[in-house]
Amino acid sequence: MEHSTDVIQIVHEELEQWKATKFPVRNAEYGFSEPNKLLQRDFYNYAKEDNFNALFHLLSNELEVLNIIFKHVAASGNSLLHVAASHGSEGVIQLLCHHFPLLITRKNFLGDNALHLAARAGRPDTIKNLVNHVKNDPHKTLELASLLRMKNNKGNTPLHDAVIKGCREVKNNKGNTPSHDAVIKGCREVARFLVNEDLEVSYLKNKEDKSPLYLAVESCDGEMIDYFIEAMPEGNLEKLAVGKPDIMLPEDIKGGNLLHLAASMGFLSGGRLLVRRCPVAASQRNEEGNLPIHVACQKGNLEVVSELLTYWFDPMDFLNEKGQNILHVAAESGQRKTVEEILGNRDLEALINEKDYDGNTPLHLAAMYGRPEIVQALASDMRVDKRIVNNEKLKPSGVVVKLLQGGRFKAPKSDGMSKRIDTKHEDDAARGRKVFKVLVEADDKTECDLPRTTLTTEQLNRGVGNLLVVSVLVAGVTFAGAITVPGSGSNPSSL
């Protein structure tokens, strides 16, 4: 222990001696000078190995030391400070920052400054060393906020890079090694430090339109999200969600907030953190008109649905802008487990036969979007009224017949997850026929109104008519008159 203390003391004394050494007066224009020569190998290796004595001995004997510092770079455009920051060479970093502080903002060919490289390497001590130098510089050569918010060619700040690297290591690491764990831990420490130094960086977007906070949610890194939320003053996240919800969000999420993203990813712990700190996020709609709980239903993320349900006193309150409840959305999206879970929850019984603004029940939507498994689950539940008509006076079976005949309904805003039956595609037509079969089988045999459809020769040739006949046979009822010749005035609203 005593030997170790002696070594530290010697290193400290050597650093102080080199700090007292006079080098050419720094000139502001050097900070913007273009590189014109590759670094010599010795300079590069000494910076990499933190051999500050050898490095500064070489520099002290150079007549054009400023050219070496500012104009000589590695193949990637890295200055000596970049090299030192990448490898955690703390002694070299101290001396370079002391004598040549403009190097701190110097960018390589990828637009990275020294902080970017240290952040990606998961080196919190290096980050703190660089930041503390800027904060303690008596000449105030650099402004800290500007440094922390500097973006590289991808639009990433050092905080972006720490989050991306840390989350990527967590995601890709299938068998933890000490080196993996060190990088993960280091990147998280870097992120925590940078967030505490400048919270605003958490919301800055890169060229993919993603903020560091968004990236942490996207990667389902609960520990990283904890750091962001801990650093926020009470109410900060809620103010962001209410006042300018897009500040943390990419445009391709269609106006949703971070809770929409967590719901979509099935990120339970992250969603719980967000909604507890920012309850209003649960009641915000994205551009599709959906609440976070609707997004969770679309994706079939049951744990998130259950969590979000605890924030609503009345299940009839969470409707999207189409007037759809969570059973509508789950049925339309084909999420059978979610549908079954809702059907099994007596507190949600009121949702079963509710209509949206177009008059469609969950069963109508399951039929319309060709979801035979969902239709089966709903139609087999005695509480589901299979004879309710929508605004077009169509029962669920009538909806299917209209689509099989080539009919159309008013197109809604689409999130790309759900697609209505389109008989131009045989797969869609087959789904539609299967849905109709399920509906006929489930209907009251004594009251089943048979489809009196007007089918063209082309439709008959494609098998639509045959499937309708088979469906009726399976139901055990007569099919006389089920298919009429063109011009007979059929009307699917009787279905």
pLDDT in tens, 243-263: 555 555 554 456 678 899 899
3-class DSSP assignment, residue 38: strand
Tokens of 197: 């130094």
Confidence of residue 222 (pLDDT cuts 50, 70, 90): confident
pLDDT in tens, 335-378: 999 999 999 999 999 999 999 999 999 999 999 998 999 999 99
Residue 464 pLDDT greater than 50, yes or no? no
Look up residue 19 and give its amino acid.
K
**Beta strands per DSSP E along 72-223:** 72-73
Residue 381 pLDDT greater than 70, yes or no? yes
Span 1-20, average pLDDT: 83
Tell me how far apart the alpha carbons of residues 28 and 32 are, in angstroms, rounded to a whole number: 8
Ordered domains of the chain (ranges, CATH) = 351-495 (1.25.40)
Cα–Cα separations (whole angstroms), residue 216 to 89, 161, 182, 223, 329: 28, 11, 18, 9, 27
Residue 380 pLDDT greater than 90, yes or no? yes
Span 195-216, average pLDDT: 89
Confidence of residue 138 (pLDDT cuts 50, 70, 90): confident
Give burial (CB, 10 Å; 0-12/13-18/19+) of 489: exposed
Which residue in the block uniquely carries the two structure tokens 């959906």?
290
Confidence of residue 412 (pLDDT cuts 50, 70, 90): very low
3-class DSSP assignment, residue 454: strand
Tell me how far apart the alpha carbons of residues 218 and 367 are, in angstroms, rounded to a whole number: 33
- Cβ–Cβ under 8 Å, residues 334 and 297: no
Residue 228's pLDDT is 86
- pTM here? 0.74
Mean pLDDT of the chain: 81
183 backbone φψ class: left, alpha, beta (φ>0; ψ -120 to 50): alpha
Helices (H) and strands (E) in the chain, counts: 26, 4
Look up residue 355 and give its amino acid.
K
Residue 487 pLDDT greater than 70, yes or no? no
pLDDT in tens, 161-184: 999 998 776 666 555 566 767 888
Residue 457's pLDDT is 36
- Cβ–Cβ under 8 Å, residues 180 and 171: no
Task: Read off the DSSP letter of residue 77.
Answer: S
Classify strands 483-484 and 453-454 as parallel, antiparallel or unpaired: parallel
Residue 240's pLDDT is 62
Tell me how far apart the alpha carbons of residues 430 and 24 are, in angstroms, rounded to a whole number: 81
